[in-house]
């Protein structure tokens, strides 16, 4: 089994985007790094802020690309090539409009699903789609014409942000499974109905 060695959170750089839905992946990974005591430092070669340290007993890199969302792969790909990582050793956290706020799901492989940041990452990895995705639900505006503003201009309401933050406080065992390379156990635990840790329901 292949464990994780790189955790990347996608977003747009600059203070104007900090509170937007499109930045929730970057916000989450920044919090993970702080929790793990991993200091993220800007690195021009990697086009992002990167740090290395121990997370649940494993050596891991954490990355926040400084590129705009649709160029995220320039950063992730640079780190992947330098550290000679396989796609399976990478997890990317990002916003998912197909899920309501408060829904967080793991997925391994698959296409970009209309997400420009994921499309860029896939391209940067030589079209290898085998990386792990942590999809953080932010909801849908109900109208495709409103999507850009909804993701990149509108500030996420406080109540909505609290729902998302609560959902991201999932059992640390999920991360332990991911770092060990047992993605299936991680998905079973994360996706289990509330009160049913074995994922079998009531």
pLDDT band at 77 (very low <50, low <70, confident <90, very high): very high
Q: What is the pLDDT of residues 36-50, one digit of tens each?
A: 999 999 999 999 999
Entry pTM? 0.93
Give the pLDDT confidence score for residue 194 in this predicted structure.
62
* Higher pLDDT, residue 193 or 120: 120
Q: Please report whether residue 114 resides in a domain.
A: yes
Give the pLDDT confidence score for residue 2 in this predicted structure.
80
What are the residues whose beta carbons fall under 8 Å from the beta carbon of 87, sequence distance 6 or more? Answer: 80, 125, 128, 129, 130, 131
pLDDT band at 200 (very low <50, low <70, confident <90, very high): very low
Q: Please report whether residue 20 resides in a domain.
A: yes
Q: Please report whether residue 198 resides in a domain.
A: no
Q: What is the pLDDT of residues 4-41, one digit of tens each?
A: 999 999 999 999 998 999 999 999 999 999 999 999 99
Round to whole Å and give the CA distance between 20 and 37.
Answer: 25
Round to whole Å and give the CA distance between 124 and 144.
Answer: 27
- Residue 183, domain CATH: 3.40.50.1470
Q: Please report whether residue 179 resides in a domain.
A: yes
Q: Please report whether residue 22 resides in a domain.
A: yes
Q: Please report whether residue 200 resides in a domain.
A: no
What is the percent of the chain where pLDDT is above 90? 91
Give the pLDDT confidence score for residue 129 in this predicted structure.
97
| Tokens of residue 192, six digits | 């289990």
Q: Please report whether residue 44 resides in a domain.
A: yes
Q: What is the pLDDT of residues 88-111, one digit of tens each?
A: 999 999 999 999 999 999 999 999
Number of domains in the chain: 1
- Look up the domain containing 81 and give its range: 6-191
Residues 162 and 122: beta-carbon distance below 8 Å: no
Tell me if residue 191 is catalytic. no
Q: Please report whether residue 196 resides in a domain.
A: no
């Amino acid at each position: 089994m292949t464990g994780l060695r790189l955790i990347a959170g996608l977003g747009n750089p600059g203070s104007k985007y900090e509170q937007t839905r499109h930045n929730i992946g970057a916000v989450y990974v920044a919090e993970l790094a702080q929790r793990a005591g991993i200091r993220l430092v800007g690195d021009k070669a990697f086009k992002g802020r990167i740090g290395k340290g121990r997370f649940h007993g494993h050596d891991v890199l954490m990355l926040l690309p400084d590129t705009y969302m649709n160029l995220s792969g320039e950063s992730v790909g640079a780190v992947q090539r330098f550290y000679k990582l396989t796609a399976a050793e990478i997890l990317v956290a990002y916003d998912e409009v197909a899920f309501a706020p408060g829904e967080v799901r793991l997925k391994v492989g698959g296409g970009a699903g209309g997400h420009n940041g994921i499309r860029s990452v896939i391209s940067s990895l030589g079209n290898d789609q085998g990386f792990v995705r942590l999809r953080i639900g932010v909801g849908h505006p109900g109208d495709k014409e409103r999507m850009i503003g909804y993701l990149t201009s509108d500030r996420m309401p406080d109540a909505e942000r609290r729902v998302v933050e609560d959902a991201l406080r999932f059992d640390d065992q999920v991360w332990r499974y991911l770092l060990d390379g047992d993605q299936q156990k991680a998905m079973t635990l994360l996706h289990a109905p509330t009160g049913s840790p074995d994922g079998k329901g009531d």
